[in-house]
Amino acid sequence: MGLKPIGLVATAALFAAPLIWLPGIAAGRDLGALFSQYLGMTALIAMATSQVIATRWPGVEGVFGALDQSYRLHKWLGLWALAASFLHDTIDADMRGLGAETALVDAAETAGEISLYGLLLLVVITVATFIPYHLWKWTHRFIGVFFVLSAFHYLFILKPFSNGDPLGLYMGAVCLIGLMAYAYTSAPRGCRPSKPYRIRSLTPEGDALAVTLEPVGKPLRHRAGQFAFISFPELGLTEPHPFTLSQAPDESGALRMTIAPLGDYTIRLMSRLEEGAEARIEGPFGHFGAVKGPQLWVAAGIGITPFAAMAGALQAGDGPVTLLYSVRKRATAAHLSELEAKAASGKFRLVVRETATEGRLTADDVRKLAGDLSGLHVMYCGPAALRDALWEGLKGHGLSARRFRYELFEIRTGIGLKRLLAYLTERRGAVKAR
């Protein structure tokens, strides 16, 4: 469930394309400066591709893979854009004999500088995941402004080819596509394709709230395990948030989302939602879902939602499936009685782990329950720390990365700084102990 190879190949091809024309321009030129210009071009290509991913167009998942993975590529492209812009600024890109320094060229130079420092600031805010999401989201919208400045810089700066040459046309097309994608993502919410729904019922499910929605027009078509973005414009909750569709698709087109009050927005939802209110749904997204053959599904807390849908979609002959559901207390667990009733029909085995009385779930527990891991698919949804612990504890016992799939409920991810820090502290501790 990683990035699709086709997406990676397409991105690599976009980066490599200028190399078709650069050798033809290189004769008699300062090669260091030409390399610096190529770095600048890769920064633009990275920014434009990143803007396209941010549109969440249906084709994005088709080319790059599930949206959470596509967003990882989006983040790394942003980091590359920053690194390449920095190097482009550091390695002198000036060449002799390219023409006169006009006011427009000066403005292009200034635009490039502003864009570099703006990007630096925004990328640092992006990877500093301790900065609250809504602050990050607010600042992140300016990243497109810096892309516009970069495109302006590129178009009007002196360079060893013209905007009408094949390389100029290619880079012009890259800028145009990136700018169109940015305009689309910044357009008012109503301009984005979303489907109208109405809240049919609100049901407490342990600590969470199950929101059942009925379509107002044509319903959304989804597979069990997918998610969608929801907003409630009528209630003043206009920012779309992602939630898993926690019920298997049915004929009526009704959808259900089970929402845990974990932050500002989700806590606000609990008191504001009312039956009959309008909702806008954008999606579906994601490639998480049941596979063929024997499966162990491991859910922790609200991570039960994709499995609640997948359990409802199981057909005779699927699996066999064991669902291990780790809950703090049975009374606070979402969809427990529904799952117990479904498991009683024999479609899957349900094992509930109540951590308040039985202690935290470990990889050893999962290994004991699973028995032979070779040939078994393990699917996980829950906190990242438990995902890492399970993978560490299971990978040496016959589980391959291909057969370990997970959904993390996290779109904004860091660059592993916390893990690096933990590793360095551990190493320092080990050296001291010696």
SS3 assignment for the chain: CCCCHHHHHHHHHHHHCHHHHHHHHHCCCCHHHHHHHHHHHHHHHHHHHHHHHHCCCHHHHHHHCCHHHHHHHHHHHHHHHHHHHHHHHHCCCCCCCCCCCCHHHHHHHHHHHHHHHHHHHHHHHHHCCCCCHHHHHHHHCCHHHHHHHHHHHHHHCCCCCCCCCHHHHHHHHHHHHHHHHHHHHHCCHHHCCCEEEEEEEEEEECCEEEEEEEECCCCCCCCCCCEEEEEEHHHCEEEEEEEEECCCCCCCCCEEEEECCCCHHHHHHHHHCCCCCEEEEEEEECCCCCCCCCEEEEEEHHHHHHHHHHHHHCCCCCCCEEEEEEECCHHHCCCHHHHHHHHHCCCCEEEEEEHHHHCCCCHHHHHHHHCCCCCCEEEEECCHHHHHHHHHHHHHHCCCHHHEEEECCCCCCCCCHHHHHHHHHHHHHHHHHC
> Does 128 help bind ligand FAD (rule: CB under 6 A)?
no
**CB of 32: closest distance to ligand FAD in angstroms?**
41
**CB of 103: closest distance to ligand FAD in angstroms?**
42
> Does 133 help bind ligand FAD (rule: CB under 6 A)?
yes
Tell me the residue nearest to ligand FAD as measured from the CB. 263
**CB of 191: closest distance to ligand FAD in angstroms?**
18
**CB of 229: closest distance to ligand FAD in angstroms?**
7
Site residue total, ligand FAD (CB under 6 A): 25
Which residue's CB is nearer to ligand FAD, number 205 or number 365?
205
**CB of 407: closest distance to ligand FAD in angstroms?**
6
Q: Judged by CB under 6 A, which stretch of 35-43, 237-245, 387-395, 414-422 contacts ligand FAD?
A: 237-245
Window 273-312: residues binding ligand FAD (CB under 6 A): 286, 302, 305
> Does 244 help bind ligand FAD (rule: CB under 6 A)?
yes
**Interface mask toward ligand FAD for 400-419; x: CB under 6 A:** ---------xxxx-------
Out of 239, 275, 364, 372, the only residue in the binding site for ligand FAD (CB under 6 A) is 239
Which residue's CB is nearer to ligand FAD, number 266 or number 355?
266
Which residue's CB is nearer to ligand FAD, number 61 or number 365?
61
> Does 265 help bind ligand FAD (rule: CB under 6 A)?
yes
**CB of 334: closest distance to ligand FAD in angstroms?**
9
Where do contacts with ligand FAD occur on this chain (CB under 6 A)? 68, 133-134, 227, 239, 241-244, 246, 258-260, 262-266, 286, 302, 305, 409-412
